[in-house]
Structure 1
Amino acid sequence: MSTLKKLAVASAALGLLAASSSGVFAQKRYDPGASDTEIKIGNIMPYSGPASAYGVIGKTEEAYFKKINAEGGINGRKINFISYDDAYSPPKTVEQARKLVESDEVLLVFNPLGTPPNTAIQKYLNSKKVPQLFVATGATKWNDPKAFPWTMGWQPNYQSEAQIYARYILKNKPDAKIAVLYQNDDYGKDYLKGFKDGLGAKAASMIVVEESYEVSQPTIDSNIVKLKSLNADVFFNVTTPKFAAQAIKKMNEIGWKPMHFLNNVSASIGSVMKPAGFENSQDIISSAYFKDPTDAQWKNDPGMKAWNEFLDKYYPEANRADGSVMYAYNVAQGLVHVLKACGDDLTRANVMKQAASIKDLQLGGLLPGVKVNTSATDFAPISQVQLMRFKGETWELFGEILSGDVGG
């Protein structure tokens, strides 16, 4: 072969190599917060303030991402988890969200907690086209992909959960006189709306009092005394952990023993039932979509074994009776699923595309039969729950897996 021909062949080979290489590189797409080696995840939690009991969620997520990094990361990239405290104060949430997006340049904001805090940053994050992914609140408004395509919920929505309680009351205590205590914000009002919708035409006659409280109150003792004075025999308790524990204690002190429904965001044994006193918590009804670590039926369950192994190694000081630890474990696994599905296209648009393409995802910490599903028109990943009743020192599940009727 002549020197000229050799040069031509070599040149063609180099051209093919360059073309194929550029094809490989073209497949890698990054937005701020992503690179060949790192994925920056932002998070906002109330590590202080009236909802600080939920701070354990951020700590569990941090531990889980350490586990993922120790095992090689996501497609070879390590997670850099940046979590800030907002004290459950919406103005502070806005400040922290701006810091995460504009200073830290995270790829997405993951699992920020609370309805008022998330409401405060929803328009900002959507205007910046930054995913507000798997928010830690069950408000119905997170399932609105048309108006807010960059915001997605995670847990069953509050209205659906409240409808399920209402249907149970209509079936089992149709002549009930109901007292409702709710937090005076979007979170509390969402539950109240779902509850009234579930009772339907009977809501006006069955609900004898709707009492609201402010999250800034040090105690709700006076609210509970007022509710007892109206002779209600059913109580729908829409409170966060600190106030839920106060309510249960005060009800025992004053001898008020109605049929008691507690919203599932405060069903934690570690942060609510135990501090309130197990003896005071008997027969309270709530709902669940993930496994209760204190329930003996899961002792030999593979998902529970994996959860315990994770905690043994990465978060040994965790309170394993606190449902928030299991909640965080599940939602962190959900994010890992999405990021793995993104492959080398770590753009914000692809994060949302993959988050909206989850099909029958089963996570080890969810109840059997509860699956994660999303679509371009359904931003409510989990929509199923099972009722449970508190007995002894744990919750006992009863009935079938149920779904509410509320969509976006």
Structure 2
Amino acid sequence: MRNRPWRLSAVAVLTVGALAACGSPQGSESSSSSGCPANASEPIGDTIKLGSTMPLSGQLASVGQNRAGVEALVESVNAEGGIDGKKLELTVLDDKGDPARAVSNVQRLISQEDVDALIAVTTTPVNLAIGEFAVEQCVPNLFALTGDARFTAAQFKGMIPASDPYDTQAKALVEDIRAEAGEDATIGVLQVESDSGAGLTDSLKRVAEEAGMTVLPPQTVAPTDSAPPTSQIQALKDEADVLAMFLSPFQCPPALQALGRSGWETQVYVGDFCAYPSVLEPAGDLANGVRSVNWIVDPNDGASAERQDVKDYLAAVEGKAPPAAVTSFAETGYVSAAGAIAYIRSIAEDGELTRLELFEGVEAIEDLQVPLLFDGIKVRTSEGDVSPWSAVNIIEYQDGTYASIRQVAVD
């Protein structure tokens, strides 16, 4: 996996400086020999406090349906006695997709709520904004929803991302494009102007060109633009063999509608955030055949119906999320929370549970049991590589569900 140089975003630089001026969280005035606040080494008591920030409202509110899955998993664990007799306490705050608001939320979670870990923090810009402050306070950021290489390569200590690295996604997509369109395929890209859009585009360009394919200069849309990208698709139509759309979830249906009106019949690939049925269903039949990557099974796909973990998940989220969200971000939140809790449990089994142990152990994970993963995907991390999934599957959407086409191992 190739890693881009780490550069903290302007939002992160400004907000971290502002937070430093506000002082340290309560009880952490002195530092331990590890360089962490002193309270990081204190044993966690009868309650394990977990916190998250995600877009519960605003244009990215569909992504914030992660909350339903996270809450369902936490409730299930508590009903079974918690972790080593310790109950879980969860606080989820709304950042509306705004990195500055997310920083304020995380400051509150750490300094007022005294969380022992962050879990399922959502979107790349938000994780970039909060990352350095979480590191300074030695608060682990577990199974965050981002695939940016700055996170997957462990450049933010104490963090585990829950999305596959952009390079891994690109490798899987290119392998499928080769099978569908040939080794000399020309790829058109429609990209949102954001960290995730640029990250996926850069990775696809690098991997595809190494494989002998051509990637056209991307056509872009603004982060808040919900209008159909008609002119951008027309610009790609006559030159590209396939279309890759790396957009925000609310932008994908209008883009598919514009593609349908253009008359361009081509194989479409989308980034993982646009791959879920709840995102694609508004596009109707125009979404059929769209391909993407995922590591999580579709609980509504008949091939998965008899799995016990699928039955447990559907029972846990019943009534907590709209039906469309069940095979969507609620499921992603559930898997992210399950990964975080399995990791916390593994640390508790090895000795005294402290925030410092959680913070320092993220680069040595082996064989965690996490529900709802495709068969053959193992959970592991190593020094310098904290992307937890050992493989990713190419999936194809059809009439409200998706199924696996092939699995691509992670190098």
- Common fold by TM > 0.5: yes
Question: In the alignment, does 2:49 pair up with 1:43?
Answer: no
For the residues of structure 2 that align with 1:104 and 1:286, how far apart are their CA atoms?
A: 38
Q: 1:296 to 1:208 in 2, by over 3 A?
A: same
Contact 2:58 2:96 in 1 (8 A): yes
Give how far 1:45 is off: 0.5
**Aligned residue number for residue 166 of structure 1:** 174
Give how far 1:70 is off: 2.3
Q: Quick one: which of 382, 386, 397 aligns to 1:375?
A: 382
**Aligned residue number for residue 344 of structure 2:** 339
For the residues of structure 2 that align with 1:310 and 1:229, how far apart are their CA atoms?
A: 44
For 1:100, the aligned partner's letter is: L
User: Deviations along 1:225-262, whole A, 9 cap, x unmatched?
Assistant: 44455443310011121111221122123322222111
1:95-174 alignment to 2 at 5 Å?
95-145=104-154, 147-173=155-181, 174=183
**Aligned residue number for residue 328 of structure 2:** 323
Contact 1:386 1:402 in 2 (8 A): yes
For the residues of structure 1 that align with 2:364 and 2:178, how far apart are their CA atoms?
A: 36
Contact 1:40 1:107 in 2 (8 A): yes
Contact 2:139 2:359 in 1 (8 A): no
**Aligned residue number for residue 292 of structure 1:** 298
1:50-61 alignment to 2 at 5 Å?
50-61=59-70
**Aligned residue number for residue 394 of structure 1:** 401
Q: 1:256 to 1:224 in 2, by over 3 A?
A: farther
**Aligned residue number for residue 315 of structure 2:** 309
Gaps of 5+ in 2: 1-37
Q: Quick one: which of 219, 242, 249 aligns to 1:241?
A: 249
Contact 2:176 2:394 in 1 (8 A): no
Give how far 1:143 is off: 2.2
Contact 1:293 1:320 in 2 (8 A): no
**Aligned residue number for residue 32 of structure 2:** none
User: Deviations along 1:336-368, whole A, 9 cap, x unmatched?
Assistant: 112222326332221134433321224230000
Helix, strand or coil for the counterpart of 1:134?
strand
Contact 1:177 1:206 in 2 (8 A): yes
User: Deviations along 1:172-224, whole A, 9 cap, x unmatched?
Assistant: 42343321011212211211121112112577x72233112221223243454
TM-score (norm: length of structure 1): 0.84
Helix, strand or coil for the counterpart of 1:364?
coil
Contact 1:319 1:325 in 2 (8 A): no
For the residues of structure 1 that align with 2:400 and 2:291, how far apart are their CA atoms?
A: 14
For 2:81, the aligned partner's letter is: G
For the residues of structure 1 that align with 2:236 and 2:374, how far apart are their CA atoms?
A: 35
Gaps of 5+ in 1: 1-28
Helix, strand or coil for the counterpart of 2:109?
helix
Contact 1:291 1:366 in 2 (8 A): yes
For the residues of structure 2 that align with 1:95 and 1:352, how far apart are their CA atoms?
A: 21
Q: 1:234 to 1:105 in 2, by over 3 A?
A: same
For the residues of structure 2 that align with 1:242 and 1:49, how far apart are their CA atoms?
A: 11
TM-score (norm: length of structure 2): 0.83
Give how far 1:323 is off: 2.2
Helix, strand or coil for the counterpart of 2:188?
strand
**Aligned residue number for residue 275 of structure 1:** 282
**Aligned residue number for residue 17 of structure 1:** none
For 1:254, the aligned partner's letter is: S
Q: 1:282 to 1:135 in 2, by over 3 A?
A: same
**Aligned residue number for residue 27 of structure 2:** none
User: Deviations along 1:346-405, whole A, 9 cap, x unmatched?
Assistant: 322211344333212242300000111113332111141121223344223223x21344
Question: In the alignment, does 2:225 pair up with 1:217?
Answer: yes
Helix, strand or coil for the counterpart of 2:160?
coil
Q: 1:323 to 1:176 in 2, by over 3 A?
A: same
**Aligned residue number for residue 183 of structure 1:** 192
User: Deviations along 1:81-106, whole A, 9 cap, x unmatched?
Assistant: 11111111111111111111122221
Helix, strand or coil for the counterpart of 1:92?
helix
For the residues of structure 2 that align with 1:321 and 1:308, how far apart are their CA atoms?
A: 8
For 2:214, the aligned partner's letter is: M
Helix, strand or coil for the counterpart of 1:94?
helix
For the residues of structure 1 that align with 2:50 and 2:43, how far apart are their CA atoms?
A: 9
For the residues of structure 2 that align with 1:404 and 1:226, how far apart are their CA atoms?
A: 35
| Aligned CA-pair RMSD | 2.4
Question: In the alignment, does 2:71 pair up with 1:62?
Answer: yes
Helix, strand or coil for the counterpart of 1:179?
strand
Q: What is the aligned residue count?
A: 371
% identity of equivalent residues: 23
User: Deviations along 1:37-78, whole A, 9 cap, x unmatched?
Assistant: 211111000111221111110122012212222222222222
